[in-house]
Structure formats: structure tokens, C-alpha cells
Amino acid sequence: MINIDHSKARYLLDGFNGEAIPEELAGSFRAFLAIENLYVSATREISTKLENLNDEFKTNMDRNPIHEIKTRVKTPRSIMNKLLRKGHEISVESARTNLDDIAGVRVICSYIDDTRMIADLLTSQDDITLLRKSDYISNPKPNGYRSLHLVVTVPVFLLKSTEHVKVEVQIRTIAMDFWASLEHDLAYKLPKEKAGKLIDELKECADVINQTDERMQKLFNILIT
């Protein structure tokens, strides 16, 4: 068994609570630790681009379409579990090839139209490559979830090379984020015997929230015309 310095690797060892790490996992953890900076840097690159767009809107149009930007990088524990669930080899190379959401950026916008505008502005930049787009705003998930998901690559410039790193970008309104955050919390604690009724209620809430989103968009359109 090998003990790893938790003060330096808290991100990696989420959930182990000071336990010794089996030898066969220690090498994988070290490898994931070595690329942590790569994925953190990728989220920083995306965030900077979005902040620049938001600042330009403020200067030129006296408003900020982006309300908030959040970033996260999956823990190796989460990465390994996902690789296992999908039947992939547990390695850094496998994770980089098979997982699109190791690095994530969530963009919370004021209005529905802002979500698509920000997506178009981001993906039109010369160094951003769009790999996949899933529009759950136009086509919500069965439970009512709405958001615009992009998988892009962004260059990260290192000392001796440039890496093109995949980042999942989720773009949604304040209202969509409110619902998604509470739905995640409720669904996580949901007893099986109450699942049916609560799922129906959550779907109804999502529809009501969407109606409010659309009304707010109409009000904004009246304001700017």
C-alpha cells in the first residue's frame, strides 16, 4: 500500500478520507495528477474567452448576457468509475479518448436567446473546434431538463507542446439552472416509493419555469425594440 500526500492531491483522492491507496491504483492516480493542470487550464481558456465576450457586450451594448460562469474538473475517482461503467480501460489515455466531460464549464445566461448567441460566438472563434452539440432547450429531456451542451476542443499551450483538450460547455438560463440544481438534489435523495409522483412534479415545474423563461424573453425583446 502507498500513502499519497492528501494536502497536495485532495482533488484526486476525493472520497478516500485518508486511506492508503492500493499499489495498482497509485500509478493511475499519479498519472491523473500529472494532467490535472491540463484540464484546469482548458477550463480557464474557455472561461477567459467567455469573460471577454461578456465584457465586450457590457462596453458596446451596456448589458451582460452572461450572469455567471462556473468551472469544474472531474476527480479521478469519478473518472475511473465512469470508465468502468462504460467498459473502458482505466488509464489517462482512455479517459482522454472516451470521456468528453472531464473538464466542464457551465455558463448561466439571463435569457434564452443569450444561450444560443453565446454558443455561436464561442464556437465561431478560430481556435475552438466544435465536436458535438446537444440542444436540450429545443428538445428537453423527458424529465424536463433544459440546457445547451457543447463538446469543444481548446488549445492549451505548454512549455514544449500544444494540447487540444476537450471541454464540455453547458449553457443555460438562470431559471434552467435553478431547476437543474434543485432537481439534482431532490433526485439524489429520492425514495423509490415516491419516485413516480415526484418525477411528474419536477417535470411540471420544469414546464412552468420554461414558460416564465419565455415570458421574460418576450419582455426583454419589447425593451430592446
For residue 75, the model assigns a pLDDT of 84
Domain residue ranges in the chain: 23-224
Residue 147 CA to residue 116 CA, distance in Å, equals 10
Residue 169 CA to residue 109 CA, distance in Å, equals 13
For residue 127, the model assigns a pLDDT of 97
For residue 31, the model assigns a pLDDT of 77
Q: Which CATH fold would you assign to the domain 23-224? A: Beta Polymerase; domain 2 (3.30.460)
For residue 103, the model assigns a pLDDT of 97
Q: Which three cell numbers stand for residue 87?
A: 467498459
For residue 87, the model assigns a pLDDT of 92
Contact 137, 106 (CB under 8 A): no
For residue 144, the model assigns a pLDDT of 95
Contact 186, 202 (CB under 8 A): yes
| Residue position matching grid coordinates 473502458 | 88
Catalytic residues: 168
For residue 1, the model assigns a pLDDT of 31
Distances (CA, A) of 183 to 81, 104, 151: 23, 19, 23
CB atoms within 10 A of CB 211: 11
Residue ranges in the chain modelled with pLDDT below 70: 1-29, 188-195
